[in-house]
Amino acid sequence: MDDLDALVLRTALDWQVAGLPVVLVTVARTWGSSPRPPGSLMAINGRGETAGSVSGGCIEDDLILSIRKGGAQAVCASGLPTVLRYGISADEAHRFGLPCGGTVELVLEPVSAHSRLDELLLACEQRRSTERVLDLHTGRVELREGRRDGVPRLDDQQLTTYLGPQGRLIVIGAGDLSRYLCQMALSLGFEVVVCDPREEYRASWQLNGVVVSREMPDDLVLRLRPDARTAVVALTHDPKLDDLALIDALQSKAFYVGAIGSRRNSEQRRERLRTHFDIAEPALRGLHGPAGLYIGSKTPAEIALSIMAEVVAVKNGIRLPSPMPMVAGKSLYENLGHRAPAATSSCNV
């Protein structure tokens, strides 16, 4: 499943190939409160159909109305990129549904061969971060290697934006918990890969949009080379599989590495990785185990929710609380009387 940026770009390219006039809209700058951050994308075709968004809806309605009345040239009269600003006055902010004091500056770009959307999408698919520079006077685009999360820059000459690979989740183990976790990850725009060399688990496991691998976990992690947009979660409860993935994942650029299990099992895992596999202490500190935020999870779906919430929090740079406190030598989960989970219904504490 594409993330939102890739979905907008792919839709715009499909419309262009089908012969429809298309305008790509980018949030270039904002002042005060705004519904969508800089870099947000929307595509509008000549029929007024849209993909993506740049506000809560009212700006979209205004652009759609203009295009339906006069075609794409109505918003890009010269056939070249146009800069529009919404919300300068209090009345205008109210009209377009912007928060009090909010101002949004948009760049509207008629999509053409100069836009190089096909090359940009290919770079995203190959997990290459790209800096895209749009010349406002010619409509020509330059693509070059760049960081993923740069802030857009707009001046009188050009608009510079940054795009890159979507988030990726590598899941070790094909079970009920994995299925719920993968469904959530797909809905959040992650590319998802499930690894399980056990035929009896893998045979009946299928989910549209998920790549399922029969490789050994260490082979898969080494092949995929987790980058800073990748999370790795081990869910088998089998050290022969989970540890293999963790050894290499902890020494990669993955932004999140986690494994399920009880507090005691998690400490035993850390000791194994430390003494038997010589994983350095700084790398071990990056291991989220038990994986997930404490939300009193009781079912595979709730456990998956807790894990995915932690993954997203780390991705977004949120500082997480310390591990679940212990009461009388037990975790709060254990004090609530929950039984230790089976391999197919694992807990996150």
CATH number where 189 lies: 3.40.50.720
Q: Residue 32 falls within a domain, yes or no?
A: yes
Say yes or no: 88 and 235 in one domain.
no
Q: How far apart are CA 314 and CA 169, in angstroms?
A: 13
Domain coverage including residue 249: 168-335
β pairing state of 130-135 and 141-145: antiparallel
Residues sharing a CB contact under 8 Å with residue 255, sequence separation 6 or more, in sequence order: 228, 229, 230, 231, 314, 315
- Examine residue 177 and state whether it is found in any structural domain, yes or no: yes
Count: domains in the chain = 2
Q: Which two tokens stand for residue 286?
A: 């990056």
Q: Is 344 part of any domain?
A: no
Whether residues 219 and 147 share a domain: the answer is no
Q: Are residues 142 and 199 in the same domain?
A: no
Residue 345 resides in a domain: no
What residue type is assigned to position 69 of the chain?
A: K
Question: For tokens 């050290």, what's the residue?
Answer: 239
Stated pTM of the model: 0.71
If asked whether residues 39 and 148 sit together in one domain, one would say yes
140 inside domain? yes
Residue 329 lies in a domain: yes
Task: Specify if 109 maps to a domain.
Answer: yes
- Identify any residues that bridge with 143 across adjacent strands, giving them in sequence order: 132
Cα–chain-centroid distance for residue 265? 30
The predicted pLDDT at position 93 comes to 58
Query: Are both 258 and 141 inside the same structural domain?
Result: no
**What's the confidence (pLDDT) of residue 212?**
95
| Domain limit, last residue, from 163, 181, 209 | 163
Domain boundary among 163, 178, 210: 163
Is 347 contained in some domain?
Answer: no
**CB atoms closer than 10 angstroms to residue 224:** 21
pLDDT in tens, the chain (349 residues): 567 888 999 999 999 999 999 999 999 998 876 677 889 999 999 888 999 988 866 788 888 888 877 766 666 767 899 999 887 556 665 666 665 557 889 999 999 999 999 999 999 888 888 999 999 999 999 999 877 667 899 999 999 999 888 899 999 999 999 999 999 999 998 999 999 999 999 988 989 989 999 999 999 999 999 998 999 999 999 999 999 999 999 999 999 999 999 899 999 999 999 999 999 999 999 999 999 999 998 899 999 999 999 999 999 888 877 554 433 334 333 333 333 333 333 344 3
Q: How far apart are CA 34 and CA 40, in angstroms?
A: 11
